[in-house]
Chains A and B, each alone.
Chain A
Amino acid sequence: GNSVTQMEGPVTLSEEAFLTINCTYTATGYPSLFWYVQYPGEGLQLLLKATKADDKGSNKGFEATYRKETTSFHLEKGSVQVSDSAVYFCALSDVSLDTGNQFYFGTGTSLTVIP
Chain B
Amino acid sequence: NAGVTQTPKFQVLKTGQSMTLQCAQDMNHEYMSWYRQDPGMGLRLIHYSVGAGITDQGEVPNGYNVSRSTTEDFPLRLLSAAPSQTSVYFCASSSTGTRRNGYTFGSGTRLTVV
Contacts and interface: CB of A to CB of B under 8 A. Distances in A.
Contacts of A72: none
A107 B35 CA distance: 13
Contacts of B108: 42-43
A94 B24 CA distance: 25
Q: Name the residue in A32, A45, A49 with the highest tally of chain B Cβ atoms < 10 Å from its Cβ.
A: A32
Interface residues of A, number: 25
A5 B92 CA distance: 22
Interface string A23-47: 0000000011010100000111110
Main SS class of interface, B: strand
B105 A107 contact: no
A5 B20 CA distance: 32
Contacts of B43: 44, 89, 105
What range describes how many residues of B lie at the interface? 20 to 34
Contacts, number: 65
Interface stretch (A14-22, A62-70, A75-83, A96-104): A96-104
Contacts of B33: 103
B60 to A, nearest CB: 13
Interface in B17-53: 31, 33, 35, 40-43, 45, 48, 50
Contacts of B100: 32, 51, 93
Contacts of A45: 105
Given A32-B100, A49-B102, A51-B100, A103 B41 contact: no
Contacts of A107: 40-42
